[in-house]
Structure 1
Amino acid sequence: MNEFELIQRYFTRHAANAVLGVGDDAAIVRPTPHHDLHISTDMLVQGQHFFSDVSPYALGHKTLAVNLSDMAAMGATPCWAVLSLALPQLDKTWISEFSEGFFKLAEEHGLSVIGGDTTCGPLTLSVTIFGETPPGQALRRDAAQAGDDIWVSGSLGLAALAIQQRLHSNPSIPDSVIAECTQKLEYPTPRVALGKNLLGLAHSAIDISDGLMADLGHILARSNVGADIWFENIPTHPWLANNRRAFAEIITAGGDDYELCFTAPYSAREKIAKLAEDLCCSLTRVGRIEHKKNIRLTDKFEQPITLSNSGYTHF
Structure 2
Amino acid sequence: MDGVALARFEAGRDRLASLAYRLLGSAADAEDIVQDAFLRWQAADRDHIEVPEAWLTKVVTNLSLDRLRSATTRRERAVGAWLPEPLLDGDPMLGPADTAEQRESVTLAVLTLLERLPPVERAVYVLREAFSYGHAEIAGILDITESASQQHAHRARRHVAAERNLGEVDRAAARRIVEAFIAAASSGRTERLVALLTDDATAISDGAGLTGKLLRHTTAERVAAALRAGFKPTPAKRKLVGGTLSIHAGLVNGAPAMIAVAGDRVVGVGVLELRDGRIATLRGLASPSRLGRMTAQWRQRPHDAPIVESW
Q: TM-score higher than 0.5 here?
A: no
Where is the strand percentage greater, Structure 1 or Structure 2?
1
After TM superposition, the score normalised by the length of structure 1 is 0.29
Where is the helix percentage greater, Structure 1 or Structure 2?
2
